[in-house]
Structure 1
């Protein structure tokens, strides 16, 4: 029983905040069920609380399993049997005990609620294991928002049908098979990718607990090959140009090709096309809602753009041991010179982010026939410039812990959203010319000041080539 206990404790050791939050939701759900004899509505609230807690817990459990289920782990004595014991303990905690409480209350939808708990656990585990189940959920929620009356009728029919609970259980079993079978299969892992690549196809999707990549579909592997070939061609072209004329600008371009392999012209165009396709599908669904505000498109564009910078912070930490080779190859005269080369190379992300935000905003304004596209474009361009400078600065010298990075990124995202809506109002109140001038004077000067201070601090620091702890 001791190995099972140690396996159960892994979530508490690796993701303690998630474990505490999930356990608090679990306890709250149990208490609500204990009070349900006086008020039946508390039982439904308790089931919802337990479902959310189970979902969070199993997302973390899936991430832990991705780190544990390595080929060498299966050489341990009875490793599979101990994993099965962990599954039994978790099922008893999150499904068995709540299902018994649901049965004791004698609710009309007892079987349906118990099946829903099983499905919530399976969904969380599949998402935590790196499977793209969340995309299916995204489609379901978009469809429900597009046709709310049809979604309401389907929900009512599902509540009345005796087949709903068996269908939910069968779906949960298929999800578990879909999520766990790759983890239990012993095979060679793919070649590790650059932590700073930006294909957004799951190859660099890691929980932060391990280096094991998430399982990928054949389509994702094919598109990744397109990005890799584009990166290889860009590196070869830059290397030939540097050999013909070795200059400081050519050396900086080589460093950029090395650190940012998916930020060449072909890869940027391919990424914009892929993401624009998904954005187009999303907006075509959302604009069917009543009272849709087209100005929100710019906020979505900035949100998509700023998602790149947390990856930069994680990637730079993971690349530390590899950057020692870059340091020796460049052979800088001072440590500050090496730090300045890295900063100048990463500065490319700012114009790329601004271009991305403007492209998505323009696409969204065309799809929705926005009344004021120029106002949206100006606001998005100015805010994306300042937010990109701040995001690059913060994730370059910010906290190294996962909690600190997450907290800083949350503040950055909310700040960028607030700046966009404030800027959109300013351009409406003062006009495009004066409003853009006022917004740019405040936001871009702030972003430039933060970036100037951050890059000076980064150059002052000594290069670190130690692998991050944990």
Structure 2
């Protein structure tokens, strides 16, 4: 039982804060279930909500934990599948079987449908990390429900009132869980590792287990990844051919950029913009067409999406330290500062790329939402993204080593960018586009350049480090 207990503890070890919150939610559901006699249906509803919410998140964490455990070498452990099954039954018993049994003993109305619904939510949470097509199907059902809420409400009431509701929910939960576990327990070759500096918005860098190993992807994700890899390969071959014909400093810098930033070549940028535009267009037309909201939020979302590149850059540069030793020997710089300057010149291209992406996303949002003041939004997003990109690049290059410190830095940069965006939007409205944009550009660009200059000076002062980062 020791191995089963260790398997049960995996979500607690890897997501300690969320795991504690979910266990408190389970205790709260148990307390609410015990108060059914005093408070009636209200207590039963609160218990069902806590158990359903907790089961969804708990089994999502469980799926994330299993992604790192269910690797080919893991199946060599004695009775691994059997003990994994026992640990899974403990999770099911805690979140679905015991609450349902207690509800039946207490005479709670609709105890069996509630227990079946909790089990179905747990299966969906498990599928969210392994069988992504099931997660996409569930998301599509929510989209359809938001499109026709009246029809969705009628179907839901008819299903709940039907005597087949409980067997159908149980059968669906078993089917989803079996498909999810089949994907996890399938033994196949490990995915090819990717560069830590690949763009994570639609790349492979997100698809990693908690131990950093790449996880299995679906056919569509592999096909999209192959297209991005093809653009990177062609860009590298072109840069290498141009440098061989004319070995200038500029072409040498392009070659270093193609090596460090494989998915930030012009073709990959255009492809990424098209894919994001397609997803955003579908979301807005399918989900948000019935809702009225402040279109100015689109610019803030665009800045957030653009700034998401820089935390990955900070992590990737630390992970690539051992590999950068080969680059140092290949470049053979006269001094260490020359090598550091080469890296800075190669990575600073992310600033115009981020500004371009932010303006493109903002323009798309303006068209889809029919914004009332498009020029004001575009000016605000473009100017703020310049200063925010310089600041984010600077702090993530010289920022703290630990994940907690990097998280705080990222949070500070993000909140600061949002505050400047909304303040800049107000400033453009108060002073006009010409004067307001000039003042905003002076403030944001001045701050960004100041931070970047200080960070550049510090980065050049530091000696190159090729040691692997501490876990």
TM (norm. structure 2) is 0.92
Superposed CA offset, 1:132-159 (max 9, x none): 5544444444444444333433433333
Inter-partner Cα distance in structure 2 for 1:54 and 1:315: 33
Which structure 2 residues correspond to residues 71-470 of structure 1 after superposition, within 5 A?
71-129=72-130, 131=132, 133-198=134-199, 200-201=201-202, 203-207=204-208, 209-470=210-471
Gaps of 5+ in 2: none
After superposition, give the CA deviation of every residue in 1:35-77 in whole Å (9 maximum; x if it has no partner): 2321131222222222222222222222221111111111121
SS at match of 2:334: coil
Kindly tell me: are residues 303 and 166 of structure 1, through their superposed partners in 2, closer, same or farther at Cα, counting changes over 3 Å? Answer: farther
Cα 1:434–1:105 shift into 2, 3 Å: farther
The 3 A distance-change label for structure 1 pair 208 and 78 is closer
Q: Structure 1 regions of 5+ residues with no counterpart?
A: none
CA contact (8 A) 2:190 2:215 kept: no
Q: Does the CA contact (< 8 Å) of 1:4 and 1:85 recur in 2?
A: yes
1:217: Cα distance to partner?
2.1
Distance 1:349 1:172, change over 3 A: farther
Deviation, structure 1 residue 227: 0.9
CA contact (8 A) 2:131 2:183 kept: no
Q: Alpha carbons of 1:92 and 1:232: their partners in 2 closer, same or farther (altered >3 Å)?
A: same
Tell me how far 1:188 sits from its aligned partner. Answer: 1.0
Does 1:60 find its partner at 2:56?
Answer: no
In structure 2, the residue matched to 1:26 is: 26
1: CA distance, partners of 2:209 / 2:413? 21
After superposition, the C-alpha distances for 1:208-245 in whole angstroms (9 at most, x for unaligned) are 52233233222222221111111001001111111122
Q: Secondary structure at the match of 1:288?
A: helix
RMSD (Å) for aligned C-alpha atoms: 2.3
1:130/1:215 contact within 8 Å kept: no
- Cα gap change, 1:408 to 1:28, in 2 (>3 Å): farther
Greater shift in the superposed pair: 280-289 or 227-236: 280-289
**C-alpha distance in 2 between matches for 1:425 and 1:233:** 45
Using a 3 Å threshold, how does the CA distance of structure 1 residues 457 and 172 change in structure 2: closer, same or farther? farther
The answer to whether the 8 A contact 2:209-2:215 is kept is no
2:6 matched residue in structure 1:
6
- Shift in Å at residue 400 of structure 1? 3.4
TM-score normalised by structure 1 residue count: 0.92
C-alpha contact (below 8 Å) 2:388/2:417 kept by paired residues: yes
Q: For 1:411 and 1:145, locate their aligned partners in 2 and report how far apart those are by CA, in whole Å.
A: 34
Q: Distance in 1 between matches of 2:322 and 2:163?
A: 58
Q: CA deviation at 1:352?
A: 0.8
Distance 1:140 1:420, change over 3 A: farther
In structure 1, C-alpha distance between the alignment counterparts of 2:400 and 2:171, rounded to whole Å? 44
CA contact 1:309–1:392 (8 Å) conserved in 2? yes
Q: Distance in 2 between matches of 1:92 and 1:221?
A: 36
Q: Is the 8 A contact 1:129 1:214 kept in 2?
A: no
Shift of 1:189: 1.3
Task: State whether residues 59 and 129 of structure 1, in contact with CA within 8 Å, keep that contact through their aligned partners in structure 2.
Answer: no
Shift of 1:207: 4.8
After superposition, the Cα gap between the structure-2 partners of 1:255 and 1:106, relative to the gap in structure 1 and judged at 3 Å, is: farther
**Structure 1 pair 140–79 and aligned structure 2 pair: CA distance change class (3 A):** same
Are the counterparts in 2 of residues 199 and 271 from structure 1 also a CA contact under 8 Å?
no
* More divergent stretch after superposition (195-204 vs 319-328): 195-204
CA distances 1:277-321 after superposition (whole Å, capped 9, x unpaired): 011112223452243322222122222222222322332232222
Taking the aligned partners of 2:224 and 2:424, their CA distance within structure 1 comes to 37
The verdict on how the C-alpha distance between 1:250 and 1:295 changes in structure 2, with shifts beyond 3 A counting, is same
CA drift at 1:175: 2.3
Please state whether the residue corresponding to 2:247 is helix, strand or coil: coil
Per the alignment, do residues 160 and 336 of structure 1 end up closer, same or farther by CA in structure 2, a change over 3 Å counting? farther
C-alpha distance in structure 2 between counterparts of 1:285 and 1:161, whole Å: 30
